[in-house]
Amino acid sequence: MFKRQGKKALNYATGLTLYNLLLIGVYPAISQSMVVAELADNLPNSVKRVFGVTSGSGLDCFESYVSTQCLGRVWILVMGVYTISGADALISKLVAQGGMAYLLSSPVGRWQVFSTQIAVLVSGLALMMVLTILGIWAETMFFDIPIKIGSYFRLGVLGLALFSAVGAYSIFFSVLFNEEEFTILSASGLTFLFYILDILVQLNDRFSRLKNLTIFGWVRPQEVLEGEVPTLPTLGLFGIAIIFITFAGYIFSQKDLHV
Amino acid sequence: MIKVEGITKLYANDRGKTKGKETKDIRGIKEVTFRVDEGEVFGFLGPNGAGKTTMIRQLMGFIKPDAGFAQIKGLDCWQNSLAIKALVGYLPGEMNFLEQMSGLEFLNLMSGMHGDRLIFRKRREVLVKRLELNLKQPIRKMSKGMKQKLGIIYALMLDAEVLILDEPTSGLDPLMQKVFIDLVLEEKSQGKTIFISSHMFPEVERTCDRVGIIRDGELAGVEGIQKLRQAQQRTFDIKVEDEGQVQLLRERGLAIVAVNGTELSVQVQGDLNPLLSGLALVNVKEFAQKTTELEEAFMHFYEGEGRF
């Protein structure tokens, strides 16, 4: 199970790293280009916010560039897809297809099977984070761009917390529904809702009160990279993850499994 | 060894789902009671959708009964499901494995989950040889029959005291069905208790001591296979030389149900000798037995006793 998920994480992470390589590779050229800087300055603030720029023009420092380009929307999308499909494959799919029948026909308890699946999911996410951050680090070394690795590490932990929370409610839906479609639909629906809320919050100050309603609102890559220590959001997101996982585990240990 | 007492499991969302395996268990089971003694092979026979798989899920502790209980070796199947699983070798009805693995990886994983004893490996090697399965092949590339063999190897390699097999010969070719029946008989001779669900006559007839039949979620009854066999009504299609011989057979009091010229169908219940001695007097051109399904025999049996 670990091996399977590991392969999948590696594939996703390689894709992300190559994507980052492309983006970071062009950074020196972009940052020195007057035209691009002007263009960026002239962009309406709302557009910049949608793309995750929280201060400055977005191109004058590497932190702001990397958080918009590498850790912005595409990264969240890829990680979201990875997390939700992973959570589905680990419980829902196994129950729906019947493979779970074999795992549960052994004298290994449901809690144990469940916690193994959780461990697979979380370690997969951690691997993704490590590879993403390592990738960025290696690429900045290669292109000779100075970074504060500590901030990136903190961002990695925060990212792990964020997607553990996404994974936790996905797992929760995964044990709640017998049909895979419902799992995917509800997990991605909720994630999308959070995501839209996050964009609204960033677009317009009127919505800023909603910031705490979306888990994505707790994660501001640029601020973390610029030195902020995100203790509260990290703990909060891990807390959400633990609550959902506990509920999910309880349901899984009690429910009728038609395998 | 296995004791089931008034077990009931009904599904609230009746007829809601129509696709795939869900239709199979839609109605659930109602007040099913039976017991299987130690060392006995018990056949659980019924058409698709009658509740066979639901009963097995109860025994495996996958689902919680609405009422009643199921016990294996005195342990409640829902409350003590962990202890139960240490006793049971299980073959699921749906052959869906963890597709990315090879057969060998799958068996290693399952051995590990069962505590990896030396005997598992020994038995596995013997079974692989007898069932002629290539374990190195990835499971997703296996045919239905190969997956079935893999499932059988898994269930039997554990050397468990109790075997619960859900439609074990589906997908197997006739040769392998015979191998399987031999394997079951060997397990039986070692004193294993075996529960086989099936909708097919031969695997049940040749292996089971007693048969329970389930229809629409209710257990119609439990009978010894010998008694059933005796009660089984057989029909023979016979062709004789001329119509005079047909008349001769008719005079001997045989139950002739259809005559077409020199061809006739004879029904026999239980003892075959009256038919054979009758046939000894005529010149038989053709002789064939129509096979009746066990279920049919069972129904007939109960109709005869006026219990339906």
What is the spatial distance between Cα A141 and Cα A207, in angstroms, rounded to a whole number?
39
| CB-facing half-sphere around the CA of A160: CA atoms within 13 A | 21
| Residues B210 and B264 placed together within one structural domain of the fold | no
* Angle CA B295–B296–B300, to nearest 5: 115
In Å, how far is A253's CA from the nearest CA of chain B?
10
| Residues B191 and B248 placed together within one structural domain of the fold | no
- B298, part of any domain: no
What is the spatial distance between Cα B91 and Cα B133, in angstroms, rounded to a whole number?
17
Angstrom CA distances, B188 to B39, B161, B170, stand at 6, 10, 20
A258: phi then psi, degrees, rounded to nearest 5:
-90, 70
- B304, part of any domain: no
In this predicted structure, the answer to whether residue B42 has a pLDDT above a threshold of 70 is: yes
- B109, part of any domain: yes
* pLDDT reported for residue B16: 44
* pLDDT reported for residue B134: 93
| Residues B210 and B73 placed together within one structural domain of the fold | yes
* pLDDT reported for residue B14: 46
Sort out which chain A residues have CB atoms less than 8 A from B21's CB and list them. 98, 258
| Residues B169 and B283 placed together within one structural domain of the fold | no
CATH number for the domain that contains residue B246: 3.30.70.1150
pLDDT digits (tens, 9 = 90+) for B202-260: 678 888 999 998 888 888 888 888 887 777 677 888 999 988 888 888 888 888 888 88
A165 contact partners, CB below 8 Å, separation of at least 6: A215, A237, A238, A240, A241, A244
* Structure tokens given for A15: 């894709």
In Å, how far is A156's CA from the nearest CA of chain B?
30
| B6-11 mean pLDDT | 88
- B301, part of any domain: no
Cβ of A104 and B85 within 8 Å? yes
What is the spatial distance between Cα B55 and Cα B44, in angstroms, rounded to a whole number?
9
**Is the complex ipTM more than 0.90?**
no
What is the spatial distance between Cα B270 and Cα B233, in angstroms, rounded to a whole number?
7
Sort out which chain B residues have CB atoms less than 8 A from A95's CB and list them. none
Interface contacts (A, B; CB < 8 Å)? 67
| Residues B135 and B85 placed together within one structural domain of the fold | yes
Sort out which chain B residues have CB atoms less than 8 A from A1's CB and list them. 98
A40 SS3 class: helix
Bridge partner list, B267: B235, B255
Task: Find out whether A102 and B110 touch, Cβ atoms under 8 Å.
Answer: yes
What's the mean per-residue pLDDT of chain B? Answer: 85
pLDDT band at B308 (very low <50, low <70, confident <90, very high): very low
pLDDT digits (tens, 9 = 90+) for B81-126: 999 999 999 999 877 777 778 899 999 989 998 988 999 999 999 9
Cβ of B85 and A107 within 8 Å? yes
- A146, part of any domain: yes
List, in sequence order, every beta strand (DSSP E) within B178-245.
Answer: 193-198, 210-215, 218-224, 233-240
In this predicted structure, the answer to whether residue B195 has a pLDDT above a threshold of 90 is: yes
Question: Residue A235 sits in which domain range?
Answer: 2-20+70-254
Domain end, chosen from B195, B223, B251, is at B223
Q: Which residue of B96, B97, B111, B116 to mutate against A (max A Cβ within 10 Å)? A: B96
Name residue B216's amino acid.
D
- Tell me, what DSSP letter sits at residue B138? B
* pLDDT reported for residue B228: 75
| Residues B45 and B6 placed together within one structural domain of the fold | yes
CATH number for the domain that contains residue B176: 3.40.50.300
| Residues B207 and B237 placed together within one structural domain of the fold | no
| B147-151 mean pLDDT | 93
* pLDDT reported for residue A236: 94
What is the spatial distance between Cα A197 and Cα B299, in angstroms, rounded to a whole number?
64
Sort out which chain A residues have CB atoms less than 8 A from B154's CB and list them. 102
Cβ of B92 and A256 within 8 Å? no
Nearest CB neighbour to A101, from listed B86, B92, B99: B92
Task: Find out whether B191 and B38 touch, Cβ atoms under 8 Å.
Answer: yes
Q: Output the tens digit of pLDDT for each of chain A's 259 residues.
A: 556 556 676 777 777 777 777 777 766 666 666 666 666 666 666 666 666 555 554 556 777 777 777 777 778 888 898 899 888 888 888 888 888 888 899 998 899 999 989 998 898 889 888 888 888 888 888 878 888 888 888 989 999 999 999 999 999 999 998 788 888 999 999 999 998 888 888 887 777 777 788 888 888 888 888 888 888 999 999 999 999 999 999 999 999 888 7
| CB-facing half-sphere around the CA of B102: CA atoms within 13 A | 7
| Identity of the highest mean pLDDT range in A25-39, B8-22, B144-158, B201-215 | B144-158
* pLDDT reported for residue B19: 45
Task: Find out whether A156 and A132 touch, Cβ atoms under 8 Å.
Answer: yes
Tally of domains in chain B: 2
- B299, part of any domain: no
In Å, how far is B228's CA from the nearest CA of chain A?
33
| Residues B92 and B178 placed together within one structural domain of the fold | yes
In Å, how far is A254's CA from the nearest CA of chain B?
8
> The dihedral of CA A63, A68, A72, A75: what is its sign?
negative
Cβ of B110 and A102 within 8 Å? yes
| Identity of the highest mean pLDDT range in B176-180, B268-272, B288-292 | B176-180
The reply to whether A104 touches chain B by the CB within 8 Å rule is yes
A182 contact partners, CB below 8 Å, separation of at least 6: A173
Q: Which residue in the block uniquely carries the two structure tokens 């994480």? A: A9
Question: Residue B278 sits in which domain range?
Answer: 233-291
Find how far residue B93's CA is from the centre of its chain: 12
- B76, part of any domain: yes
In Å, how far is A114's CA from the nearest CA of chain B?
14
Find how far residue B248's CA is from the centre of its chain: 41
- Tell me, what DSSP letter sits at residue B26? S
* pLDDT reported for residue A228: 84
- B166, part of any domain: yes
- A121, part of any domain: yes
Choice between A28 and B139, residue whose per-residue pLDDT is larger? B139
In Å, how far is B243's CA from the nearest CA of chain A?
59
- B306, part of any domain: no
Nearest CB neighbour to A258, from listed B57, B90, B98: B57
Sort out which chain A residues have CB atoms less than 8 A from B82's CB and list them. 107-109
Sort out which chain A residues have CB atoms less than 8 A from B100's CB and list them. 4
Among B81, B111, B109, residue whose Cα is nearest residue B97: B109
| Residues B128 and B251 placed together within one structural domain of the fold | no
Tally of domains in chain A: 1
Sort out which chain A residues have CB atoms less than 8 A from B22's CB and list them. 258
Bridge partner list, B42: B195, B210
